[in-house]
Amino acid sequence: MPDHRVLDLTRELIARASVTPDDGGCQPLLAERLRAAGFHCESLAFGEVDNLWARRGTAGPLLVFAGHTDVVPAGPPEQWDTPPFTPTERNGRLYGRGAADMKTSIAAFVVAVEEFVAARPDHAGSIGLLITSDEEGPALDGTQRVCETLALRGETPDYCIVGEPTSVETLGDTIKNGRRGSLSGRLTVRGRQGHVAYPHLARNPIHLLAPALVALTTEDWDAGNEYFPPTTFQVSNLHAGTGATNVVPGTAAVDFNFRYSTASTPESLEERVVAILDGHGLDYDIAWTLGGQPFLTPRGELSTALAEAIKAATGVEPALSTTGGTSDGRFIARICPQVVEFGPINASIHQVNEHVNIADMEPLKNAYRGALERLLPVR
């Protein structure tokens, strides 16, 4: 008889409309299951964010599964083929907001540890689950705060698997062993407002900015390294003008972002931007926002064990990758030496009709269980 435990739990989680930062009752459901498997469960609330820390065992090493119950808003429900918070099976897929990002992973975590504990009650080390409802939002009171709490206790993981949807074409094809950092800036260039018919009486900040912007967009910031592609610079917005066609604007503002590798630092990038702008003689201000530091886990015990488990469960040889946006792995990496991410196919995340392949659920669970078996053997 087919095993539908991951599917059934995923359906229960999707049915809870946990739009960030609302957990929607997902964590109490998970805690009930985990307590039955011998886990000590704590609710760690910070601000309006609910977090769950569950642990079984007190010895090391500590292997943690980390994930988030919050989802992005579904958008207009009429754009969905079926209601976004009504889990619906169709053509071998399960549809619903959070199906891929990342309620299937969380369900697979839970069933994997239930099976593992039942089969190996005397396993070595400890198992933890860190579940937040603040990953899709500001990410201030979620995993970051839990990690700070664990660090103060001296309760730090040795290994962590984050259930982000990392697979691209086939379940198991990609493990993320790091993420690039994100550094944003708003550049405001000052000129002098005036009439377009009298340009000698004005200083057009757009014209002043243009050569510097070319220099910024054509600069080679770094060459990357073995694990990371080169750092990229992208302009996301350009603002200027009063709305009138006959007025030279007084200021021009540019929003830009670096996705940077470990070959650069926020400080080095900021210094180089300032040097380029000063070299063009601009009158300007920059407001910087550091969205996330990069993290990297070189090939080692965790990535090897997970890759072997994935191959055994799916027949696929996973590749290591550091592409994509930021994740809560950046916070966990501050207290955990080995952090990787692995989960379902990510093609539909944050989209209308988000879905996951039902046939991938059992292999996903088996991969997580296989990592447990390799890293926490029987004593």
164 is known as an active-site residue:
no
Per DSSP, 378 falls in state B
Per DSSP, the three-state class of 332 is: helix
Q: Contacts for 29-32 with beta carbons within 8 Å, 24 or more apart?
A: 30/54, 30/69, 30/106, 30/110, 30/129, 30/131
Q: Which residues make Cβ contacts (< 8 Å) with residue 49, sequence separation at least 6?
A: 21, 132, 133, 134, 141, 142, 145
With contact defined as beta carbons under 8 Å apart, do 114 and 38 qualify?
no
Name 67's bridge partners. Answer: 131
- List the catalytic residue out of 23, 70, 114, 362: 70
Buried b (16+ CB within 10 A) or exposed e, 333-370: bebbebbbbbbbbbebbeeebbbbbbebbbbbbbbbbb
Q: Quick one: which of 307, 346, 308, 304 has its CA closest to 325?
A: 346
| Residue that the structure tokens 């988030």 belong to | 68
With contact defined as beta carbons under 8 Å apart, do 227 and 299 qualify?
no
- List the catalytic residue out of 135, 328, 341, 373: 135
70 is known as an active-site residue:
yes
With contact defined as beta carbons under 8 Å apart, do 124 and 310 qualify?
no
Please state the separation of Cα 96 from the chain's center in Å. Answer: 19
Q: Which residues are catalytically annotated?
A: 70, 135
